[in-house]
Amino acid sequence: MYIPFDQLPPQARIWIYQASRPLTEAEQVEIKPLLERFATEWSSHGKGLQASATLLHGRFLVLANNEDATAASGCSIDASVRFVRELEQRYSLSFMDRTQLAFLDGEKVELVPMPELKSKVAAGEIKENTLYFDTLITNYGELQQAWPRPAGNSWLSRYF
């Protein structure tokens, strides 16, 4: 069962996938109904999930499920990964590359390869207050309250 993204409860579980490149406006228009259809049909052991999906900042695909209603099973999570892989193939991009970190630079999302992180911190290009898109957060409430968040308030704090 589809739930509008902005109506999810704070404890809803989320999965964030970061695109390897910005999605064009045309791609976003095409993808949005695919997301809604997936969320509508997404199920766990034959029982429909209270799910939602959206694109944020033209770069992030977010899938969500109200686990208080029905928990996502291993099979349903596998189905979501297959769906994301299909989008990767269709739009010639990657949503699974976790070696790129995303930061907000003004209005633009900038990717930094993980091997460059230490040098960018040392050079002062990335600071504790630089806004970071932490794709490891797992609930909707945290996404709403602290995303992006200062890098120093994330797992990146060890670099400062």
CB distance 151 to 129 below 8 Å:
yes
Q: Is the pLDDT of residue 52 over 90?
A: yes
Task: Spell out the domain ranges in the chain.
Answer: 5-91, 100-133+150-159
Predicted pLDDT at 59? 96
Q: Is the pLDDT of residue 71 over 80?
A: no
Work out the pLDDT band at 43, boundaries 50, 70, 90: confident
Average pLDDT of the residues in 25-46: 92
Work out the pLDDT band at 53, boundaries 50, 70, 90: very high
Predicted pLDDT at 149? 96
**43 or 50, higher pLDDT:** 50
Average pLDDT of the residues in 24-35: 97
Average pLDDT of the residues in 62-70: 90
% of the chain residues with pLDDT over 90: 84
**127 or 72, higher pLDDT:** 127
Predicted pLDDT at 74? 82
Average pLDDT value for the chain? 94
